[in-house]
Structure 1
Amino acid sequence: MSLFNQFIKSSSSPKHIALFRFQGIGKTISYLFFLSFIMSIPAFWAAAAYVIAGTDATRKAIEELMPLLSIAQGQSQNEVILVAAGLFFYYVLISFTLFFKATVFGGLALIAVSLLKKRAEYRHLFRMAAYSLTLPALLTTLIQLTGLTFSFAYLIDWLLIAFILILSIRFLPGAPK
């Protein structure tokens, strides 16, 4: 199944998230990198607008913050390199954050599995947690694209991930008696 199909199914179906636990770890890792790319789109968009627009206010801010950069004829010589490096590190940061969330929620899912008397190993729960990140990541990206901000965004994000993960844990087989 392609990454895009996994993205569509994991954004709408906890049952498919439970079925994705049998995917290989490489497929799950590549999915997390794909999700990181999707979440980076607002930053790429803003950077493109910054490079294209290049207003005087941004040039002055760069001169004040980083006086070592050379600015010739109103155009920074290092601007494109700085923006590209910044976007790369932003992508790496988002990737790290998603891997961290999948790891934490995989560990918390071990507790939920034992409380709900279901059968699963950490490797399955890590994969399920990774696919449970889809809908909250999509909502976060859409909110960033619109430019909205609201209080408790991270709390809502983590609660939504936990809710989706619990819904998908319900589709796991029961523990043996």
Structure 2
Amino acid sequence: MNIFQQLFKSMYSPKDISRFRFQGIGKTILFLFFLALISIIPASYYLTSFTNNAIEGVTKSLKEDLPSFTIQNGELSSDNKEPIEIEKDQYTFLFDSTGTVTEGDLDSNENMIALLKDRFVIVNAGSVQSSPYSMVSGLNVTNEDILDFVNSAESLKYIFIPVMIVVLYLTTSASLFLKVTIFALIGLLLANMLNRKLPYRQSWRITAYSITLSTIFLMLMGLFQIGIPGSFLLDWFVICIMLYLSIKEIPKRKAA
């Protein structure tokens, strides 16, 4: 059975998952790397799309929509007396030199680039990254300086985006391996409760395939940007159910 067939079977067949416990560990590890690759599709897509649109939009905003400003002594200053909010196709650009808007006021579910009174904030796919201007000692820039930097970033994005995707893939892979290691221990407890003989190495293999359904489901929800309340708990619940059903397919221990 090839890796694509295993992926398909793992989404609905506990019986097949239980059979995978006998396969080589190398094939199971390869499957996890493949699953990690699939799981980062939404984040990779939106990162690429967001970066391309952000560079284009920020360039246009700096040229046409924003007043002259400076960032000095850790603060954004301009002659503008109220916040400026510019709606783009896939994100919002916010400029506020008055201090009216704080980082806590930003909606983490909305893609946004914000130049606030004391910090620069990027919100993308629910992730908030904030950098105070004071973090860079002696920072003294104007809107023209930032425009020059953004223009330079246009060519650097072809390096930045692939590097970020590789980092995302490696961290996601590490997270999946850690998750499998933890749930494999839970698998041993379930095997004992169900009176099944299951060494840890086999539990680890079964667990690697039992996380497929929840991983693919959350990937699809992320791709279509559908928020799932308590997604963390749902993820763990589905894994436990698949793990339980798969272990249940293992023949019971013979009575002594």
Judge same fold: TM > 0.5, yes or no. yes
Instruction: Give the match for residue 174 of structure 2.
Output: 96
For residues 66-115 of structure 1, the C-alpha deviation after alignment (integer angstroms, 9 at most, x for no partner) is 98997364753422222222111111111111111111111111111111
Distance 1:84 1:176 in 2: 53
Structure (1 or 2) with the greater strand fraction: 2
Distance 1:72 1:123 in 2: 51
Instruction: Give the match for residue 16 of structure 1.
Output: 16
2:219 pairs with 137, 141, 147, which one?
A: 141
Instruction: Give the match for residue 58 of structure 2.
Output: 57
For residues 127-160 of structure 1, the C-alpha deviation after alignment (integer angstroms, 9 at most, x for no partner) is 0000001100000000001111132100110010
Q: Structure 1 residue 7 and structure 2 residue 7: aligned?
A: yes
For the pair shown, the structure with the greater C-alpha radius of gyration is 2
Over 3 Å counting, the alpha-carbon distance change for 1:176 and 1:87 in structure 2 is same
Measure how far apart 1:16 and its partner are.
0.3
Measure how far apart 1:2 and its partner are.
1.2
TM-score by length of 1: 0.89
Distance 2:172 2:246 in 1: 24
Q: What is the identity percentage for the equivalent residue pairs of Structure 1 and Structure 2?
A: 32
Measure how far apart 1:23 and its partner are.
1.0
Distance 2:214 2:47 in 1: 23
Determine if contact 1:14/1:168 at 8 Å carries over to the other structure. yes
Structure 1: unaligned runs, 5 residues or longer: none
Instruction: Give the match for residue 48 of structure 1.
Output: 48
Alignment of 1:1-177 (within 5 A): 1-53=1-53, 54-57=55-58, 71=149, 73=151, 75-177=153-255
Q: Which amino acid letter does the alignment assign opposite residue 166 of structure 1? A: Y
Structure 2: unaligned runs, 5 residues or longer: 63-112, 121-130
Structure (1 or 2) with the greater helix fraction: 1
Distance 2:253 2:56 in 1: 62
Q: Which amino acid letter does the alignment assign opposite residue 42 of structure 1? A: P
The CA RMSD measured in Å over matched residues stands at 2.6
Query: How many residues were matched structurally?
Result: 177
